[in-house]
Structure 1
Amino acid sequence: MKLVLSVYLIAAVFRCTWSAICDPISNPNWMPIEDEKYDRNYTNGRPLGFQSSVIRYFETDAGGPSPCFTVPNAHDKRIEIMAESSPAGSVICVEDQLGREFCDTKLYDCRQAADDTVFFRFFCDAQGCSDSDVTFWFRFTVSLPPNELDPELWCNERNTDEYPSSLFIPLPTGRDLIPITPSSTASPMHDSLSFMFLFMFGVIIIPLNR
């Protein structure tokens, strides 16, 4: 009995703390995009189904609101969490309403849903947003129902390598770019040809007028 009460007490504390940081009523619902409809163009709005958001450094320092999102209909399912800072290098963190959190410059986790409706909060560690805002990409993907596919097997079959930054195509190495001469700048050869044309024009035209 005491163990059960302790569990409920801990859960209640987490819920109270979470409500102070992220209001569950105002958290926008995550809008998923089906895998087969992923856009593979980085410049478009939802590359690979990811969505962009910003962690404000002054809000983080002041303990103010952080970007929060709701993932519904997750009962007995796994939730894949992927996120990366943009540009890369800033450490970002994510936690759910049970206080389970982890931090990195590129986040990946495939965890059992804490409830039918799961709330996630993104924030920075002590150094991640110390100087400026941090823009990041994130995506949640909910597994199929357990009666269709084992959630653990579903996690194991996921592609964990593709983030928006992986869509960048690097320039080929070992090749020199051909410099482009501005059209407004005349070359010495151009000046020589112009002078020769004017000279020949004068040689031909002037005798005819005599």
Structure 2
Amino acid sequence: GLKALNIREKILPGNRPHIADSCNNVALICHQLCEYEKALSLFKISLQIYENDDDQKLRIPMCLNNMGLLYLDQHDYDKSIEYYFKALDLYINEDDLKKYHEEIGFTYNNLGNHEQDPEKFITISTKIGNIYHQKGDYDLALEHYQKALNYSDNSPPDLLSSVLMSVGIIYHRQHKYNLALDMYKRGNPDEMEQALRNYKSSLRIRQKSLPRVELIDYVC
């Protein structure tokens, strides 16, 4: 991977965006191999190239997001949050980013439209919420989960369900059981309905058996 990157840089010294993409791709592989220092170094090279090329501004949040994931896997939560926030800020201010591009339609087509898909914003907000959740900072976790839920109309069902269930878990831990139950119902309505039916059925059986139990206790 790194040898191929060096060869490519020698062959295409002026084609910096392609070098940045190659660095990013190799960094992703290094990340998977747990070679974190190499991955971080390559992500930084990619980021520097993207930041110095107006035509590549929309690549910046992607790179920042990758760096956030890298720090998360190293359990460096503060650094992870820092990079997620940087990426999130760029997604929020995406209208400002559009000003850098005269041929924005062409650029979006080349990038596959993923940089300006609301799903990206939802995903990053959820990841930040997950980090705060892991740290036990439930208020901040809820704040970021709510940001994701604000875009629920654009959210894939699986992702939305995951966020709702996470919110439910926090409410449960805060002993806000009614709110937790509501989130669980919204997050997985089919299973919750079945669980409620099972609970009601068990309750009826218990109620029917109570007089008999009381009689047995009395006789004994």
More strand by share: 1
Relative contact order, CA 8 A, sep 6+: which one is greater? 1
* TM-score between the two structures when normalised by the length of structure 1: 0.22
More helix by share: 2
> Is the radius of gyration larger for structure 1 or structure 2?
1
* TM-score between the two structures when normalised by the length of structure 2: 0.21
